[in-house]
Structure 1
Amino acid sequence: MPRAGLLALLSLMLASALAAQEPAPAPVHGLALYGAPALPADFTHFPYVNPDAPRGGSLTRAAVGDSFDSTNPFILRGTPAAGLSQTYDTLTTANPDEPFSVYGLIAERLILDPERRWIEYRLRPEARFHDGEPITAEDVAFSFELLMEDGTPSYRSYYAEVTGVEVLGPRRVRFTFVDNASRELPLILGDLPILPRHYWASRDFASPSLEAHPGSGPYRIARVEPGRRIVYERVADYWGEGLPVNRGRHNIERLVYDYFRDRDIAMEAFKAGLLDLRIDARAATWATGYDFPAYQDGSVRRLTIPDGTPATLQGYVFNLRQERFQDPRVREALSLTFDFPWLNANLFYDSYARTQSAFQNSELAARGLPSEAELALLEPWREHLDPRVFDEPMPLAEPEGLRERLRRAHDLLLEAGYVYRDRRLVHGESGEPLRLEMLLFDTGMERVAQPMLRNMARLGVETRIRIVDVNQYLNRLRGFDFDMVTSQFPQSNNPGNEQRSYWTSEAAETPLARNLMGLADPAVDALVEGLIRADSREALIAHTRALDRVLRLSFAIIPHYHSGETRLALWDKFGHPQPFPRYGNDFAAWWVDPERAAEITRRQRGR
């Protein structure tokens, strides 16, 4: 053998021998996005919970909507009932008191490849489905393949970088990733709900039904009343009750979701004691709606929970698939008709702040002019982007006062080719009027939309509101049959794969993806992929801020407002963590106080 070939063979043999000597990665109890999780392997419970919370009682809440026709929350068809996620366990679970860490739930131990090319889960031998069957690695692999094939499109987006799943033994399963997979993929893969293979293998998973499908979570479906309510009961022999991630949680015996089409009727049910707790998202109700006897005598109380995560971006989204909304000048003009100062003063009791960012209330939001790191990400797209991305500080300045905003909107519409003929706003070439229909399913949002539509009408836009039931609303969203709807984009302190479903071209034609507006922009696609693959906190911040600038100047969304807190009203029979976890309220850690519940019942009977 030539000397060069011999040396190459020896080098290969030496490399193989060294690789064989390298210790395998050690199994761990949890993972963090950066560094190590905060809690040690021998932790006994999450720090914020009451590990000795009493068990029992019930909690009844409102679900606002016409009804539901499915108890399968994982598929595109049907309208799923509220609360179904509580019947399913996942491989891991998050600690709401940490920015982004996960700990084993169904998985007892996790083994992550140092190069992050794969992750192995070792399942707990005691893990069981509600029907008593053990949870195996075969169930995990089956669940992944089933959800990727027949589940909602979000699963295919979320786990797009998973290249395969392999069963290594009865309780060992490994997932492999593309070479440059996102840093968060090993963590979010743990969110995978595990479904029973023995149950679903002979059933049509993609068709909605109202059966009480077996899961493995702390609750099971106890009763289904189509059109009225769904009731869950705590699983008496729940396999995971004693786990550190569950101790002090899932304390309430019975969870009830009563359906109301109208939020005002739901409020009256709450005042009458038919509902135990409500999240109050309406500023007017919060300011003036609690002057009733049960509140005055202390039976009902209110509390606010600070929100440690970025504020959810809620706003009106244009359907960019409609030709008339493809010109960004038209979208910018119509955005200027949203008169937040008037709404805040006249409808919201000055309780909100205007949302200016997709990552509001966090260090991820763009501020001022772009940094050097942001410019390096944006520069390759300079010819494609609005120049203001580079030159205008964030948040974007708007003309002060409605009159000035409408004057600017008028000028933008003229620049976009619109003219006035016979006192109507029409496109100069096609002669088509500019029309916009706001599609709603919640009558409570009508009073917020009406002032904006009136301002659009002052510009000559033909507007109207159409209110439909939830099922029709979802069907129209699936078919992209709308001009404008309200949408939400929840964010975390560590955005990642979910951003694909929010903003990318691939999601633009995916039914019921978060990208309802149909945004398809190569610069956005590139920034999202860079964000997902960021290998440091600094790189993540630079990518989110650069993305934020491009999104804001796309004018695909008219942002609404935010409060930075969650407002709760409740009948005073519950105990809850104090203080609350920093990064999200955990209702599973609440409990019913028997003495206070008895006193509330006595007062209600005496009225």
Structure 2
Amino acid sequence: MTGPRRRAKARALPMKAPLKAILTLMGLVIATLIAQAALADEKIIRSHGYSFFGELSYPADYPHFNYVNPDAPKGGEISIALSGSFDSMNPYTRKGRASALSTVMYESLLGEVLAGSGGLPADAYGEMYGLLAHTVEYPEDKSWVIFHMRPEARFSDGTPVTAHDVLFSHNLLLDEGLKSYADAVRQRIPNAEVIDDHTVKFHFADGISRRSLIDQVGSVPVWSKKWYEETGAKLDEARFEVSPGSGPYIIENVEPNRRVTFTRNPDYWGWDLPINKGRHNFDRIRLEYFADSTAAFEAFKAGEVTYRTESDPKKWATAYEFPALARGDVVKEEIPDGTPPNMTGIVFNLGSEVFKDKRVRQAVALGFNFDWTNKSLLYGLYAQQKSFSDGTHLEAEGLPEGDELEFLKSLGDVVPPDLLTTEPYVPHTSDPDRLTNRRNLRQALKLLQEAGWSVGDDGLLRDESGEQLKIDFLMNASAEPTDRAIAENFVSNLKQMGADAKLESVDSSQYTKRERDRDYDLVFDGYPSLLGTGTGLAQRFGSEAAEFSLFNPAGLASPLVDRIIEESLLTSSQAEEDMTIRALDRALRHEFFLIPDGFAPNYWVAYWDMYEHPAEQPPFALGSLDFWWVNAEKAEALKASGALR
């Protein structure tokens, strides 16, 4: 055998055991040192709360939120009337209709689920504070997060709330929750793990925005893993028996389609936490269901229910003239609302063949006379929203310029040229004294003609094949009478255009199913206002889940909107984020998928004179179920006088 071959064979011989062990140990030591050096260079943030840019209004030793009354008395009851029906206490079911407040029992790592507060203080936007978790820990690049949980936390059945319950709840939503939610979360959060009984870690995908990731996992409601395993219950099924929660309220009584009562849990584990001081003050929250809004209002007048947030301007203007109010037993109050209005109104189903052409949508919108509606049906109490960030510094105005213009140009071909050369859409004006505005009607017919629809000798709109323009407006039978009147007058104008338009009123259960199935052309619905960026924007406005997302009733799927959301999620400063939100507002208004129907600038509330609230209202919440309270002396006086039972 020649020398080279002998040397090759010698290199293939096994290493002596002591030498191999030494080299292996040296490798481990070097790897450990490298890892420790990397960790030393990486700043780890530990905090009592979370905001994306790291700024928190409340320090770690905050005693309570500034706007609450920390000495608010506990006790009494608040009762509310609702219209319609319910056949489940599980809000995550895909069938049936769940009761209102059916998440009130649950908490999350960074806040409770009560009344939609999600752990956010009502005087600060984009901040979350620890509830089930006392500390949140994450690196500067936000590639992972660890939550350190409060070991004293307990479910209402007395069992501890652990990291295993958190991980179980996270996975349950992925396996049995909404598809749009699950698809989005799986892409962004590939792995989660329990470190110990009170420590849970979430890992985030590489190469994606860090927006809304910590917020997302921190706000998942936490259910009892033990209860689900013992009962075999499914998250997506309609049922009245639900997992015990860890929150301050528990279910006391349920009468399907009639009544739900929640009671304050005297053994609630978290009464002394700063986040809870001055909050959750009522002993009982009672929901009373009625067939329609008229019956619900009569129940309030009679004292069967004691609190009402009014949504019908006609009632607010004309119906609050009854003996209890005249006596001073009922308070009627307008409370400032510091949030921009949600963009609500008449939503186009963009999946309907008739509405695929934007010109048809624009023409149909010209049939809605807001000015007449506001004067004749809304008593002049509404204002018309024009923006998804109405009245804020995030509202798009004028032609794009400066950083916004450069940003839009950088997006390339997805930006239509007219977006850069026209001001953002604002609703048309109409004659407040005439339901049908001839100028708008002529403009609508011109748009329809451009889109291939023409009026025949019979006065009906048809396309080239002779098909008539048919429009189905779906409505909930238990809706406010004013909403019905608005819809009926709008449909009347569409008929004058030559459309075969009809208003289809169905009961609450059918309405819920058809809205989920997107079985309509038009529907009263809406979208939340734009206050900042986040991955939730993709569920609301993005193409990825447009076909099935319950949060996107129009089914909007726009490459332009998608790109703006993607870029917005990558912004690194508040100023840059704000600029992209203005661009998003501009783009959403350009896509034109909703007819704004107006909003009330203030909260309209009426209540029997035993409730009190802080003198200074926080800007981001009314808080009637959160930080209001009962004055026991006033309550007793009402009962002693016979005004209330």
The two structures have a TM-score, normalised by structure 2, of 0.88
SS at match of 1:508: coil
Counterpart amino acid of residue 459 in structure 1? M
Q: Residue 63 of structure 1 contacts residue 260 of structure 1 at CA under 8 Å; is this kept in 2?
A: yes
1:273 corresponds to:
303
Q: Residue 369 of structure 2 contacts residue 429 of structure 2 at CA under 8 Å; is this kept in 1?
A: no
Distance change >3 Å, CA 144–CA 473, structure 1 → 2 = same
1:227 & 1:317 partners in 2: Cα distance?
28
Counterpart amino acid of residue 320 in structure 1? L
State which of 152, 174, 181 in structure 2 corresponds to 1:126: 152
1:23 & 1:421 partners in 2: Cα distance?
72
2:205 corresponds to:
178
2:293 & 2:536 partners in 1: Cα distance?
30
Q: CA deviation at 1:459?
A: 0.9
2:600 corresponds to:
563
State which of 233, 237, 248 in structure 2 corresponds to 1:218: 248
Q: CA deviation at 1:78?
A: 2.5
SS at match of 1:60: strand
Q: CA deviation at 1:492?
A: 5.5
2:173 corresponds to:
147
1:169-248 matches, within 5 Å, as 169-179=196-206, 180-202=208-230, 203-205=232-234, 206-248=236-278
Distance change >3 Å, CA 524–CA 321, structure 1 → 2 = same
Q: Residue 359 of structure 1 contacts residue 491 of structure 1 at CA under 8 Å; is this kept in 2?
A: yes
Instruction: Please list the CA deviations of residues 528-549 of structure 1 after superposition, one character each: whole Å capped at 9, or x if unmatched.
Output: 2222332222222222221222
| Structure number with larger C-alpha Rg | 2
Identity level (%)? 36
1:515 corresponds to:
552
Distance change >3 Å, CA 54–CA 366, structure 1 → 2 = same
Q: Residue 43 of structure 2 contacts residue 140 of structure 2 at CA under 8 Å; is this kept in 1?
A: no
Distance change >3 Å, CA 20–CA 369, structure 1 → 2 = closer
Distance change >3 Å, CA 281–CA 400, structure 1 → 2 = closer
State which of 48, 56, 62 in structure 1 corresponds to 2:67: 48
Counterpart amino acid of residue 171 in structure 1? H
Say if 2:591 is the partner of 1:544. Answer: no
1:330 & 1:235 partners in 2: Cα distance?
54
Say if 2:634 is the partner of 1:596. Answer: yes
Say if 2:286 is the partner of 1:256. Answer: yes
Distance change >3 Å, CA 137–CA 289, structure 1 → 2 = same
SS at match of 1:27: strand
Q: CA deviation at 1:491?
A: 2.7
1:500 corresponds to:
538
1:440 & 1:400 partners in 2: Cα distance?
25
2:644 & 2:337 partners in 1: Cα distance?
37
2:387 & 2:203 partners in 1: Cα distance?
35
2:358 & 2:384 partners in 1: Cα distance?
21
2:510 corresponds to:
472
2:519 corresponds to:
481
Say if 2:189 is the partner of 1:162. Answer: yes
Q: CA deviation at 1:397?
A: 6.6
Unaligned ranges ≥5, structure 2: 1-28, 111-118, 432-436
Instruction: Please list the CA deviations of residues 393-418 of structure 1 after superposition, one character each: whole Å capped at 9, or x if unmatched.
Output: 23537365422111111100000011
Q: CA deviation at 1:42?
A: 0.9
Q: Residue 576 of structure 1 contacts residue 589 of structure 1 at CA under 8 Å; is this kept in 2?
A: yes
Q: Residue 438 of structure 1 contacts residue 485 of structure 1 at CA under 8 Å; is this kept in 2?
A: yes
SS at match of 1:255: strand
2:225 & 2:599 partners in 1: Cα distance?
43
Q: CA deviation at 1:267?
A: 0.9
State which of 326, 335, 347 in structure 1 corresponds to 2:377: 347
1:474 & 1:281 partners in 2: Cα distance?
20
2:93 & 2:406 partners in 1: Cα distance?
40
State which of 397, 405, 420 in structure 1 corresponds to 2:455: 420
2:394 corresponds to:
364
SS at match of 1:165: strand
1:372 & 1:20 partners in 2: Cα distance?
40
Unaligned ranges ≥5, structure 1: 1-9
Q: CA deviation at 1:212?
A: 4.4
Q: CA deviation at 1:36?
A: 1.9
Say if 2:104 is the partner of 1:86. Answer: yes
Distance change >3 Å, CA 375–CA 187, structure 1 → 2 = same
Q: CA deviation at 1:17?
A: 5.2
1:154 & 1:597 partners in 2: Cα distance?
46
SS at match of 2:104: helix
Instruction: Please list the CA deviations of residues 263-313 of structure 1 after superposition, one character each: whole Å capped at 9, or x if unmatched.
Output: 121111111011111111111111111111111121111222222222111
Q: Residue 158 of structure 1 contacts residue 498 of structure 1 at CA under 8 Å; is this kept in 2?
A: no
Q: Residue 157 of structure 1 contacts residue 500 of structure 1 at CA under 8 Å; is this kept in 2?
A: no
1:393-412 matches, within 5 Å, as 393-396=423-426, 398=428, 401=431, 402-412=437-447
Q: CA deviation at 1:14?
A: 7.9
In terms of mean alpha carbon deviation, does 489-498 or 15-24 score higher?
Answer: 15-24
2:438 & 2:341 partners in 1: Cα distance?
29
2:52 & 2:157 partners in 1: Cα distance?
35
2:622 & 2:643 partners in 1: Cα distance?
31
1:318 corresponds to:
348
2:469 corresponds to:
434
2:392 & 2:491 partners in 1: Cα distance?
31
SS at match of 1:209: coil
Q: Residue 142 of structure 2 contacts residue 210 of structure 2 at CA under 8 Å; is this kept in 1?
A: no
1:411 & 1:489 partners in 2: Cα distance?
29
